[in-house]
Amino acid sequence: MIPKTYLEFEKSLELSHVPKEWTDGLKAAWYDAKGDWEASHNIAQDMHSALGSWLHAYLHRKEGDRFNAGYWYRLANKEYPTITLDEELKVIVEYVIKNKT
Please state the rounded mean pLDDT for residues 22-47: 97
Global pTM value: 0.96
User: pLDDT at position 36, please?
Assistant: 98
Q: What is the mean pLDDT of the chain?
A: 97
**Crossing angle between the packed helical segments 50-62 and 85-99, to the nearest 10 degrees:** 160
User: pLDDT at position 1, please?
Assistant: 87
Per-residue pLDDT band at 101 (split at 50, 70, 90)? confident
